[in-house]
Amino acid sequence: MRFDLSEFNWPLILIVVAISATMSYVGDIMGKKIGKKRISILRLRPRHTSTVVTIFTGMAVALLSLAAAAYSSESIKMAIFGHNILTRQMTALTTEVRILEDEHERMTFDLDLSQFELSAIRAEKDRIDIEVSALREETEALKLGLEELRFGRVIAYQGEMLAQTSIEQDENGVYNLDEAVEELIAKSGEYIDMKLAELRVVNDMEGAGAEITVTSEMRSDLENRLSSEHGRKVLRLTAPANVTMGQMLEGFVNMYDSNLVFTEGEVLRQETIRFVDNHEDAADIIYRMLRSINRPAVSRGILPDPFTGNVGNLDTLEFFDVVDRIVTDNSNFRTTIVTITAAADIYTEGPVSVKIEVEDLEG
């Protein structure tokens, strides 16, 4: 460290030097006088008295120097007279600083924790807002759907199968997806026209039919899936939402493996019927037999209708013809054996088309 002479406290130095010189001079004169006059203080010898005067003179020099320094500088004054006080104050301040630092760390931790909790609360609020918005949109859609239902304008319901078709590889192992999709769209149009005709008959309403399309994104997804597939497949076109008059919707296409489940003529159900002499009971029996085919057909791989859950159909005239045959035979006290067989080869996509054969046995 370098010192600049101009930075020294020259007035204080000169004062201390002057006081020291003066006191030394005064002490020397007094010592000489005491020595010449052989003065004795407190019965001391003159020589010892001179020594005591010199000592007190030095003490006076030190005290006056300290007094001058303390008078000229507040810092020196505090250092000389308040050292212990300053030490105690510094210790207390150091302790207080540590306490404040600990409090600051605790408050910082609490602030970080509060900010984290606030972020979590905001994220939860945003999630709830999104859910509320979705519920509001769903509520509005349901209200609209209820209005359409009330006025009888719904042609097909959400999840209802509009069309299905099978697709197989050609001799080059390639699936003709475009042709299959166009067939689906055409069949869905026929299905919607049929449902629309029913609505017009029942509700006596006028209105344009709906149009179902298949997006290019869905076609591309089907092409990607078919690129790694082999064998017979089935495509099902379903309604993504309620289809109303004059509406255009993008249909949803599902693809499944298609396998032979039942062969033509295979027996699906057989029962012996006795003592049934009315059409109601006979119809219940046939209906129960047809329903009993549903579960085993599904367990063997038949895809049920996604809307109704059924796997088959039967011509109404054939149904009542069988009922009449049963009632006639049982009224004549004859036993009837009813056999339900597959009307044709039935694949995974169904439907389970059946043929009912009635055989009379003598009761």
DSSP-derived secondary structure for 204-248: ----PPPEEE--HHHHHHHHHHHTT--S-EEEEEE-SS-EETT-E
Please tell me the predicted confidence (pLDDT) of residue 310.
Answer: 72
pTM over 0.75: no
- Give buried/exposed letters for 273-295 (b at 16+ CB in 10 A, else e): beebeeeeebbebbeebbeebbe
41 vs 14, higher pLDDT: 14
- Give buried/exposed letters for 41-69 (b at 16+ CB in 10 A, else e): eeeeeeeebbeebbeebeebbeebbeebb
pLDDT in tens, 279-311: 888 888 888 888 888 888 888 888 887 767 777
pLDDT in tens, 265-274: 888 888 888 8
106 vs 144, higher pLDDT: 106
Please tell me the distance from the alpha carbon of residue 233 to that of residue 227, in angstroms, as a whole number: 12
Q: Which of 258, 275, 296 is the last residue of a domain?
A: 258
What beta strand segments (E) does 180-232 contain? Answer: 211-213
Please tell me the predicted confidence (pLDDT) of residue 151.
Answer: 45
325 vs 309, higher pLDDT: 325
How much is the average pLDDT of 181-200? 79
CA atoms within 13 A of residue 199's CA, in its CB half-sphere: 24
Please tell me the predicted confidence (pLDDT) of residue 49.
Answer: 67
- Assess whether 230 and 282 both reside in one domain: no
Q: With H, G, I as helix, E, B as strand and everything else as coil, classify residue 259.
A: coil
The answer as to whether 142 is a domain residue is: yes
- Give the tokens for residue 292: 């009993």
If you average pLDDT over every residue of the chain, what do you get? 76
- Assess whether 219 and 248 both reside in one domain: yes
Domain tally, the chain: 4
How much is the average pLDDT of 155-159? 76
Please tell me the predicted confidence (pLDDT) of residue 150.
Answer: 47
The answer as to whether 128 is a domain residue is: yes
- Assess whether 292 and 337 both reside in one domain: yes
The answer as to whether 86 is a domain residue is: no
Name residue 236's beta-bridge partners: 164, 254
Q: Which of 58, 81, 104 is the last residue of a domain?
A: 81
- Assess whether 248 and 159 both reside in one domain: yes
Q: With H, G, I as helix, E, B as strand and everything else as coil, classify residue 303.
A: coil
The answer as to whether 87 is a domain residue is: no
Please tell me the predicted confidence (pLDDT) of residue 223.
Answer: 84
- Assess whether 121 and 209 both reside in one domain: no
Please tell me the predicted confidence (pLDDT) of residue 306.
Answer: 72
Domain encompassing residue 69: 5-81
